[in-house]
Amino acid sequence: MSESFEDDVLNELGDDRLQEIAGLLGTDAAGARDVVSGSVAQLSGELREAAAEPSSADEVHAAFAEVASAEPPLQGVAGFGGLAAGGLMAGVLGKLARPAANAIAKRTGVPAATVTRAVDILIPVVLAALTKRAAAKKTGGKAADGLGDLLGGDRR
């Protein structure tokens, strides 16, 4: 996988959803791209931290196992029907959305409620990107080994 996880999410997001986030944030596409990249990096970091915490590690690892075994890969964000259809990973991402949004709001100065709405738009997109990465690993001849394998080198 030559692209970063952030690139995969931006590609999955598409121009229309990026413009939607830009409008929500009151910025242009470049500003929205920066917030999206920061959000994805923050969510990735939150996932890594949750996987390392004894109280949440089992849930996070089970969610990654579910994503890695998903068949067939979902086609775009429209394949989700909302968070309820996303399974364990959607629940895990939902729990991490508020702390991630608060951290991004603090860093950017954008109101937390606004960033939270943008992150809510991103959750199904992040889930789609994770599922596609897992499917690509499987078709590449080896299964994803978990969190680090799917998220790549993105760290926060």
Q: What is the pLDDT of residues 64-101, one digit of tens each?
A: 888 877 654 445 444 444 444 467 888 888 889 999 99
Determine the average pLDDT of the residues in 12-18: 93
**Cβ proximity of 132 and 8 under 8 Å:** yes
User: What is the pLDDT at residue 24?
Assistant: 93
* Amino acid occupying residue 148: G
pLDDT tens profile 23-62:
999 999 999 999 999 999 999 999 889 989 999 889 988 8
CA distance 15 to 27: 14
**Cβ proximity of 124 and 90 under 8 Å:** yes
Which region, left, alpha or beta, applies to residue 76 given φ > 0 means left and ψ of -120 to 50 means alpha? left
**Cβ proximity of 128 and 74 under 8 Å:** yes
**DSSP letter, residue 73:** P
Question: What is this structure's pTM?
Answer: 0.79
